[in-house]
Amino acid sequence: MGSAGALPWERKQAHAQQTQEQQNLLLKARAHGIAVSEKAPDVSLADACTEFLEEIRQQRTAKTIAQYTTALDYFQASCPRVNLHAIDRQHLMRFMVFLAEQKHLAPRTIWTKVAIVVQMLKANGITNLLKRRDWPRFVEKVPQAYIAEELRRFFAACDQRERVLFEFFLGTGLREKEVQYATWKDIDFQENTARVTAKARWGFIPKTWEEREVLIPDHLVESLRCHKAAANPDCPWIFPSANGCVSYHFLSECKRIAWRAKLNCGTCHTKQGHCHRGPYCANWFLHKFRATYATNQLRAGTDIRTLQVWMGHKDLASTMRYLKAGYGKDLLAKVNEAFALVTRHEGQGSQEGNTSADAASVLPPSDQSGASFPP
């Protein structure tokens, strides 16, 4: 059987035997005083990619494996008939051009696919091919959060099930897939907590490979109690599809509700259609509920380390992105006060440079009595 049709373990065994034979020949040559340069055996890029995917298959979800496979397939298409150890910086640079010009990918997506290829090369001992300036540059988007008026109108347009579903998104900060696979066993009504747990039977693994627990507000607990009372007792899912299976339609539900509530922006055009004609608005998406949850928690004074655990972030930097922003009357008052301090100081400086006559000339007639007025 050729290497193309061989199973992964057969390729590994053949590679190990070839390496051992070459090592034995190298030792014999050196024993006879023959100088031999030690050179890495040639491995095809296709075999290296296949072996890498097999090795990580047990540590990644099916969705991630699909993303890795696409990136490595694109890389092989950009540099065909190349052995692994012949890969150099120019191959990676051409790969970026290939992704931009032939696949028409955005800079952020190009960065991700290059990172996957670099990871595969690193697993094979090939490192430091790219310089810092070589990596694609992209704009890091500011997390978007819903404002209170948008949410008020959105929930007013929900039916009972929809209201509980999107209260759950907003009140837990869970990711879409975490909500899809949430079961009643994950809710502790006494402790006001929702857990994110692995569901091996259905192939669900938390994104960071760590289960976690999130504290949820009282009103959400009460909504979940009522929702459970009306639910099918034989169905484990909190928000199942109509036939009792895992639902994959939360995003379309969200957009339909926004359309009913007349919340579409009316200007964006998506693959599905123009948002002034139907439920296609790009401003309404599920991750925005998660961003709203994080932003509101930080505004309410939740410790950022605690929020990091609740959000399931591996690093603090991911959580700190939500420190951005504040909106609201309280922060606007602080902005206005800061601007008033600047203008007040500028006004005082200019008055010190004027004579008293000049100062009197710029005052209204009723203010020229010499009385002191606030700026």
How far is residue 321's CA from residue 295's CA, in Å, rounded to a whole number? Answer: 9
196, 271: one domain: yes
153, 11: one domain: no
101, 5: one domain: no
Residue indicated by tokens 């929930």:
155
- Joined together, the tokens standing for residue 157 give 């347009």
Residue indicated by tokens 């290939």:
98
178, 307: one domain: yes
How far is residue 186's CA from residue 183's CA, in Å, rounded to a whole number? Answer: 5
Position 316 in a domain: yes
Q: Tell me the Ramachandran region of residue 173: left when phi exceeds 0, alpha when psi lies from -120 to 50, beta otherwise.
A: left
11, 154: one domain: no
How far is residue 238's CA from residue 186's CA, in Å, rounded to a whole number? Answer: 9
Q: What is the pLDDT of residues 268-294, one digit of tens each?
A: 988 888 999 999 999 999 999 999 999
Position 341 in a domain: no
349, 352, 354, 358 alpha-carbon torsion, rounded to 10°: 100
- Joined together, the tokens standing for residue 309 give 């655990």
Position 281 in a domain: yes
Position 372 in a domain: no
Strand partners, 139: none
Q: CA nearest 168: which of 110, 101, 93, 224?
A: 224
Position 304 in a domain: yes
171, 290: one domain: yes
Q: Domain with 66 in it: what CATH number?
A: 1.10.150
Q: In the sheet where 193-196 sits, what is the strand order?
A: 187-188, 193-196, 212-215
- Joined together, the tokens standing for residue 373 give 């007025």
Q: What is the pLDDT of residues 317-340, one digit of tens each?
A: 889 888 865 455 566 777 777 777
- Which residue range(s) make up the domain with 132? 44-139
Q: Which of residues 277, 306, 323 is at a domain's end?
A: 323
85, 168: one domain: no
Q: Domain with 213 in it: what CATH number?
A: 1.10.443.10
List, for the chain, all residue ranges whose pLDDT scores fall below the cut of 50.
Answer: 1-4, 326, 355-375
Sign (positive/negative) of CA torsion 7, 8, 9, 14? positive
156, 258: one domain: yes
Q: Which of residues 97, 118, 139 is at a domain's end?
A: 139
17, 165: one domain: no
| DSSP string across 35-100 | -----PPP-BHHHHHHHHHHHHGGGS-HHHHHHHHHHHHHHHHHS-S-BGGG--HHHHHHHHHHHH
206, 118: one domain: no
Tell me phi and psi for residue 204, to 5 degrees: -100, 130
Residue indicated by tokens 């059987």:
1
How far is residue 244's CA from residue 239's CA, in Å, rounded to a whole number? Answer: 9
- pTM to 2 decimals? 0.71
What is the total count of domains within the chain?
3
* Local structure of 267: helix, strand or coil: coil
Q: CA nearest 143: which of 293, 20, 265?
A: 293
Position 26 in a domain: yes
| DSSP string across 205-233 | --TTS--EEEE--HHHHHHHHHHHHTS-T
* Local structure of 246: helix, strand or coil: strand
How far is residue 191's CA from residue 138's CA, in Å, rounded to a whole number? Answer: 43
225, 307: one domain: yes
Position 375 in a domain: no
Position 349 in a domain: no
2, 130: one domain: no
Q: Which of residues 139, 173, 188 is at a domain's end?
A: 139
